[in-house]
Amino acid sequence: MMVDVTPQVAEPRTLVSLKLTNNNDFVIEDRFDSVPYVLKPGEPVSIPSDAALHMLGWYPGCDLKAVETYVSRRWGWNTPELIKTGDAKKFFAALSFKPITFKLVEVVEKTEAAAA
C-alpha cells in the first residue's frame, strides 16, 4: 500500500472584518469589550468580526434581514412610531456593510532567514 507523502499546500489563512459606514445624519455609538465604536456620518469604521457579531449580529455571509432586526432592537429603532413612519428601515438602509478580508502570513525573523 502506497501512502501519499506529498506536502499539502494549505490555503492561506484569512481574517474577515467589517467596514461599516453610517450614512444617516446622526452619530451612532456602541461598545464591545469596553472599546467604544463611534459611527459618525459618512466616515467608514473598521470593526473586528467579534465586535460586529456582538453589536450588529453581523458575520461574513449572514442574512442582512436578520442584521436589520438585531440592530433595530439593539439601537432602539423597533419602536411602533419608527416602524409606522418607516424611519427604522431608512436608518438601516443608510448603513453600508463591506466585508474586508485580510490574508495572514508568517513573519520570518531575520535570524531564521539567515540560518536557511
Convert the pLDDT of each residue in 15-64 to its tens digit.
Answer: 889 999 999 999 999 999 999 999 999 999 999 999 999 999 999 999 99
**Dihedral in degrees, nearest 10, Cα atoms 43, 23, 53, 63:** -140
Q: Which residue is it, cell 456593510?
A: 97
Q: How many residues does the chain have?
A: 116
Distance (Å, rounded) from C-alpha 57 to C-alpha 54?
Answer: 6
Q: Which residues pair with 96 in a beta bridge?
A: 21
Global pTM value? 0.78
The full set of domain ranges for the chain reads 18-115
Convert the pLDDT of each residue in 54-104 to its tens digit.
Answer: 999 999 999 999 999 999 999 999 999 999 999 999 999 999 999 999 888
